[in-house]
């Protein structure tokens, strides 16, 4: 079976976020989907190991922002390769709140939807939250970021906690022919591929995506 066939599925990229008391969670997902029009309902699938999952469960509501093509990999790394358990993902960027009290970042978002959780479904590694839309706002005209654009233009990778993770699938950066004299190192935690002229990574090298140290990198070529 070639599970990379599922990379042909089209989807967008989103940040789902929630606040329960003082506890904040926010993470990139590609599993945002409109389910029904009446009532207006959406769903998100969030890995149980993601901090955001527990926060949504406790809050009983969440915000879903639709990311735009203006996103760079730093923005994706902030929300998609780090945990809200360790860092404040809204530090240093504009933060607003939905009518339900969930934080969101208007930067790199073209729409924001505030949802109350009306159903929860345990699908194994992930929890599916069905949210009834309580409020929605268009934030700008920038084109929504698709997963295809993320893979082909931003050369983004898919971390293990994403629903769409395919073990052993080649990251787009690995599939491209390696320029002569270049070497590639892959972060085993998040899949980021670093290209360099050097045979070795410097001792103080850290992954720009997830912050892992040099020891977490394997040499590809």
Ligand X SMILES: Cc1cc2nc3c(=O)[nH]c(=O)nc-3n(C[C@H](O)[C@H](O)[C@H](O)COP(=O)(O)O)c2cc1C
Residues at the interface with ligand X (CB under 6 A): 13, 25, 27-31, 45-47, 50-52, 76, 80-85, 126, 150, 156, 158-159, 161-163
Q: How many CB atoms lie within 10 A of CB 44?
A: 26
CB of 90 to ligand X, least distance (A): 11
CB-nearer residue toward ligand X: 57 or 184:
57
The rounded distance, in Å, linking the Cα atoms of 219 and 193 is 9
CB of 204 to ligand X, least distance (A): 23
CA distances from 201 to 36, 102, 107, 183, 204 (A): 50, 40, 33, 10, 8
The rounded distance, in Å, linking the Cα atoms of 144 and 187 is 28
CB of 79 to ligand X, least distance (A): 6
Task: Name the strand (E) or helix (H) holding 147.
Answer: helix 147-152
The rounded distance, in Å, linking the Cα atoms of 178 and 218 is 16
Looking only at the bridges linking them, the beta strands covering 109-122 and 126-138 are: antiparallel
CB-nearer residue toward ligand X: 48 or 183:
48
> Which residue lies nearest ligand X, judged by its C-beta?
80
CB-nearer residue toward ligand X: 6 or 178:
6
CB-based burial of residue 95 (10 Å sphere; 0-12 exposed, 13-18 middle, 19+ buried)? middle
CB-nearer residue toward ligand X: 80 or 131:
80
CA dihedral for 5, 8, 10, 13, sign (positive or negative): positive
CB-nearer residue toward ligand X: 149 or 205:
149
CB of 179 to ligand X, least distance (A): 25
CB of 197 to ligand X, least distance (A): 27
CB-nearer residue toward ligand X: 50 or 98:
50
CB of 59 to ligand X, least distance (A): 13
């Amino acid at each position: 079976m070639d599970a990379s066939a599922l990379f042909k599925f089209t989807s967008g990229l989103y940040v789902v976020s929630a606040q329960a008391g003082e506890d904040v969670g926010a993470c990139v997902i590609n599993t945002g989907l409109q389910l029904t029009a009446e009532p207006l309902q959406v769903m998100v699938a969030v890995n149980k190991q993601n901090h955001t999952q527990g926060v949504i469960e406790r809050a009983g509501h969440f915000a879903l922002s639709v990311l735009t093509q203006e996103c760079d990999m730093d923005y994706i790394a902030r929300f998609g390769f780090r945990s809200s358990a360790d860092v404040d993902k809204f530090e240093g960027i504009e933060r607003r709140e939905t009518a339900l009290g969930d934080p969101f970042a208007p930067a790199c978002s073209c729409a924001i939807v505030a949802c109350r959780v009306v159903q929860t479904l345990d699908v194994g590694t992930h929890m599916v939250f069905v949210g009834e839309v309580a409020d929605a706002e268009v934030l700008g005209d920038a084109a929504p970021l698709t997963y295809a654009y993320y893979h082909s233009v931003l050369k983004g990778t898919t971390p293990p906690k994403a629903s769409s993770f395919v073990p052993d699938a080649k990251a787009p950066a690995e599939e491209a022919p390696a320029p002569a004299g270049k070497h590639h190192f892959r972060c085993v935690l998040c899949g980021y591929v670093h290209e360099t002229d050097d045979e070795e990574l410097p001792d103080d090298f850290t992954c720009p995506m997830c912050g892992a140290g040099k020891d977490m990198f394997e040499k590809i070529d």
